[in-house]
Structure 1
Amino acid sequence: MTITEHPGADDRDWGGRLPRNESLDLDDDQRAAREKLLENAGAWAERSGFAPTDDQGGLIGPFNPFVLRPEPARAFNRWVVADQRGSSLSAPIREVVILTVGIAWQADYEIYAHVAVARSVGLSETVVAGLRGGSTEGFAPDELAAHRFTDELVRTHRVTPETYATAEETFGRDGVLDMVHLVGMYLATSALLNAFEIPAPPIPD
C-alpha cells in the first residue's frame, strides 16, 4: 500500500511539526530503529492495508517520531506486542476500542490506519461506519459494550457503574483490564499524532 494508492493524497508534509527522519543525519541507534520499524511495523501495515511510508519510502504516521526517539519507542512497541500476543479480547473488539479512542481524539492517522486494520480482521462496515459517524445502530452486544466503556473512559475520565458492570459481564475481569491497557496505548499514540500535527492519507471507501 502506497500513498498514491489513496485517492486524494498529495505531497503534504508527512512529518507534521517534526523533521522527517530521512532528512536528518541519524545516529546508529536511530538507523537501527528505522530498519526495525520498516521490517516489523511496516510489514504489518502493508498486510493490514494502510501505508506506513510515503512513495519515496519515508516513514509516516507515528513511525517517523519513533525513529527520532528510539528508546521510548522500543519500550512502547514492546507493550503493544505483549498486548497483541496476550490479550483476551478478540481482534475485532480490540479495533472497536482503538477506533473509539482515535475518533474521540480526532487523531487522523490512527483513524486512517485502524479503519484498515478493522476491515482486515473482519469488523463489519456497519460498525466501522457507526464508530466514525457516532451511531451504534447495528452493533453486536459485545461491540456496544466495548465502545461504551471506552468512550466513557476517554471522554469523561470515568466509567459509570452500569457501563462497568456490562463490560465485566461481557469480557470478564481480564478483558476489562485488557481494554484499559489498550485505551492507554492508543491515548499515547493519539497524543503523539496530535501534538505534532501528523497528517494521514484519505480513508478509502
Structure 2
Amino acid sequence: MTDLPAADAKDWGGRLPRNESIDLDDDQQAAAERIHQRQQRWAEKSGFAATDAQGGLIGPFNSFVLRPGQSAGFNQWVANDQRNSSLPAPIREVVILTVGVAWDAAYEIYAHVAVARSVGLSETVIEGIRTRSTEGFTGAELAAHRFTAELVREHRVADATYAAAEAAFGRDGVLDMVHLIGMYLATSALLNAFEVPAPEIPPAP
C-alpha cells in the first residue's frame, strides 16, 4: 500500500474539515469507527490508502463521517450492489474507472486503479481507460467501457452501443451497469465539489 506523508503535510480533506480536527457527535463518531472497521480494511486489501500516515481518513471517507445519515444510505447502496451485481469484478472496474476518468476525479482513479489491479484487470485496459485508448480490450471490456463513456459524456447511449452491452451482459447486466455508473457519478461529484486530493498512483507492479 502507498506510504502517505504525515497528516499535516497535505490538506487531504480538500475544502472540507478533517473529521479529526473537529468535535464529532455520537453519530459521526460511530460512522468513523464503522469506516475504519470496514472501508479501511477493504482499501488495505485492495492496495490503496483510506487513511494518511497518522490514521486520518482521506478520500470520500472523511466526508462520510461529516454527514453520517446520508453516507449510511449511500454505503448500503454500495454494499447491496457489490453483493448482488451480475457483473464480473474486472468489468465493474472498467465501469468505475471510466466514470472516474470522465470526471477527472483524482481519488476515484487512484483507488480504483488499485482495485482493478487486485481483481485482475490488465494494465493494458487500465492504462487505456486513463488515456482513452481501447487497443487491447476484450469484447466485453469494450462494450462496458463504451456504454459507460457514452452515458457519462453524452447523457445518452446509441442503439448500437446499447445492443453490444446487452449482448455482452444481458438485460440484468445493463441494469447493474447503470446502477454502478450512478453510484460512482455521485462519488466523483463529491470528490470534485470539495477538491479532495489523492495520493500518487503507484507504477504497475
TM-score range normalised by the length of the shorter chain = over 0.9
Q: CA deviation at 1:65?
A: 0.3
Map residues 88-103 of structure 1 onto 2, 5 A cutoff. Answer: 88-103=86-101
User: Hey, what does 2:155 align to over in structure 1?
Assistant: 157
**Structure 1 residue aligned with 2:106:** 108
Matched, 1:182 2:184: no
Q: Kindly provide the CA deviation profile for residues 30-88 of structure 1, in whole angstroms up to 9, marking residues without a partner as x.
A: 00000000000000000000000011100000000000000110000000000000000
Task: Quote the Cα distance in structure 1 between the aligned partners of 2:175 and 2:73.
Answer: 20
Distance 1:155 1:16 in 2: 25
Equivalent in the alignment of 1:12: 10
Which residue does 2:167 correspond to in 1?
169
TM-aligned CA deviation for residue 12 of structure 1: 1.6
Identical aligned pairs, as a percentage? 74
TM-score by length of 2: 0.96
Partner deviation per Cα, 1:142-201 (whole Å, 9 max, x = no partner): 000000000000000000000000100110000000000000000000000000000000
Deviation at 1:2, TM superposition (A): 4.9
Deviation of 1:11 after TM superposition, in Å, equals: 1.9
Distance 2:87 2:39 in 1: 21
**Deviation of residue 21 (structure 1)?**
0.0
Task: Report 1:1-205 matches (<5 A).
Answer: 1-4=1-4, 11-205=9-203
Alignment check: 8 A CA contact 2:2 2:202 kept: no
> Is this contact kept in 2: 1:29–1:70, CA < 8 A?
yes
Report the 3-state secondary structure (helix = DSSP H, G, I; strand = E; otherwise coil) of the residue aligned with 2:143: helix
Kept in 2, the 8 Å contact 1:149–1:164? The answer is yes
CA distance in 2, matches of 1:162, 1:140: 17
DSSP-derived class of the 1:136 partner: coil
Unaligned runs of 5+ residues in structure 1 are none
Aligned length, in residue pairs:
202
String of CA shifts for 1:96-143, please: whole Å, max 9, x gaps. 000000000000000000000000000000000101111000000000
Contact 1:3/1:53 (8 A) holds in 2? no
Q: Is the 8 A contact 1:101 1:151 kept in 2?
A: yes
Shift of 1:3: 3.6
**Contact 1:2–1:55 (Cα < 8 Å) also in 2:** no
Distance 2:166 2:9 in 1: 46
Q: Mark the runs of 5 or more structure 2 residues left unpaired by the alignment.
A: none
Contact 2:16–2:194 under 8 Å retained in 1? yes
User: Quick one: distance in 2 between partners of 1:29 and 1:3?
Assistant: 30
Contact 1:2 / 1:54 at 8 angstroms: preserved in 2? no
Counterpart of 2:122, as a letter, is S
